[in-house]
Amino acid sequence: MTVNKVVIVGAGQAGYQVAASLRQEGFEGQITLLGDEPGVPYQRPPLSKAYLLGKIGTAALRFRPPEWFELQQVELVQASVTRIDPAAHCVVLASGEQVPYDHLVLATGARNRVPAIPGIDLDGVLGIRTLADAEALAPRLAAARNAVVIGAGFIGLEFAAVAAAKGVSVQVVELGTRPMARALSRPMSELFSDAHIGWGVTMNYSQTVTGILGVEGKATGVQMGDGIGLPADLVVYGIGVVPNAELAVEAGLKVANGICVDAHLMTSDPAISAIGDVVSFHSPLSAVPIRLESVQNAVDQARNVAARLMGKSVPYGALPWFWTDQGDLKLQIAGLSDGHDQTVLLGSAESRKLSVLCFRLGQLVAVESCNRPADHMAARKVLSRAPRLTAEEVEAPDFDLKAYELATRDAI
């Protein structure tokens, strides 16, 4: 079927990118971008970093100014999609209006998982996902004295670093024994734990928050599992996300920890693609389907779908990469470290310039680089070429990842 009309649900990172990439690829048909947030699409990563630090305002968050959408003839509509009618090839908006499509792209992202604990609705308890969340948080942060962060994941720790830099007393409560454990090797995790402690953050590991205490509707503290209470006039939770896959479930599409797609990011309905945080996909780098929450994943999947709609279909196989900024530490990760059984370090934790090369069954699978951007760029290239680099080679004195990448560029 010729595709003349593409409808995109979700005007976030992936939704915006698929519209932009379609135009870049020369698509001349109609593009409708439906999003339920106000304003033009914006980047989320600075919300928990530069925006909260007060270094940038809302205008700097936008991917493009409003005029771009007119100029590119991308019809941006603020609306919530309540239903997909796959048989009729249309989506239904909250207003009841039906929007027909030739091809539908689902880019509905994810929402914060909310801790199921007493007191979660108190004033002063927030998550960070949207600009509205960050706008609500900024003035509270400015007035806060004691902040408690529930969960030592990326976003919780980015917030902890910002709050500590602003002179707020910060306590992090984490169920696991080290921070960012789901994604990071132990040595890198420990470097970040030590850094936060150095910035004055108290890290409470192997602890849960069982409830949030309040007076007159306002948070005043949290209760931990061991009975200890912590004072808090601000509580920020970051315990992971839930993919926004309900529309897909209701439409009868296959969903399992996100919308399931094939190697070309097509759902179980060939007229519907899905991309970004909401997607569970097969990566050549993983034995099981994965769902990634990163800018790289949203952007590369959007580009892949746009190219397919323009007749340039290739299986999706981009190398995953990710970054986080905390205090003066910039961490960049290339590859997937899941199940790694060996690590080799370059640099040192003491100098705060460390790369951890993660191997699984002798194969390099991921490189985590803290304040070593050259290693990260080299790692992305090396990992893209099914690397034959061994742990023994990395352990050799004076091994340099960038030099290795240059030396092996033509050999592989």
Ligand X SMILES: Cc1cc2nc3c(=O)[nH]c(=O)nc-3n(C[C@H](O)[C@H](O)[C@H](O)COP(=O)(O)OP(=O)(O)OC[C@H]3O[C@@H](n4cnc5c(N)ncnc54)[C@H](O)[C@@H]3O)c2cc1C
- Residues 311 to 330 in contact with ligand X, rule: CB under 6 A: 322-324
Of these, 34, 104, 188, 367, which contacts ligand X (CB under 6 A)?
A: 34
Told to check if 276 binds ligand X by CB under 6 A, we report yes
Q: How far apart are CA 274 and CA 244, in angstroms?
A: 11
Least separation, in Å, of the C-beta of 49 and ligand X?
A: 7
Dihedral sign for Cα atoms in the order 8, 249, 272, 260: positive
- Residues 103 to 162 in contact with ligand X, rule: CB under 6 A: 107-110, 128-129, 155
Question: ∠ at Cα 356 (366, 393), nearest 5°?
Answer: 85
**Whose Cβ is closer to ligand X: residue 128's or residue 370's?**
128
The 10 Å CB-count burial string (b at 16+, else e) for 304-337 is bbbbbbeeeeeebeebbbbbbbbbebebbbbbbb
Told to check if 376 binds ligand X by CB under 6 A, we report no
Told to check if 277 binds ligand X by CB under 6 A, we report yes
Told to check if 12 binds ligand X by CB under 6 A, we report yes
- Residues 243 to 262 in contact with ligand X, rule: CB under 6 A: 244, 247
Least separation, in Å, of the C-beta of 79 and ligand X?
A: 6
Contact by Cβ (8 Å): 318, 352: no
Contact by Cβ (8 Å): 395, 344: yes
Q: How far apart are CA 168 and CA 156, in angstroms?
A: 15
Told to check if 183 binds ligand X by CB under 6 A, we report no
Total of chain residues touching ligand X, rule CB under 6 A: 37
Of these, 9, 18, 126, 367, which contacts ligand X (CB under 6 A)?
A: 9
Which H or E element spans position 85?
Answer: strand 81-85
Stretch that binds ligand X, among 25-33, 166-174, 203-211, 292-300 (CB under 6 A): 292-300
Contact by Cβ (8 Å): 102, 89: yes
Of these, 40, 45, 101, 280, which contacts ligand X (CB under 6 A)?
A: 45
Beta pairing class for 234-237 and 146-150: parallel
**Binding site residues, ligand X, CB under 6 A:** 9-15, 34-37, 44-45, 47-48, 80-81, 107-110, 128-129, 155, 244, 247, 276-278, 293-296, 298, 322-324
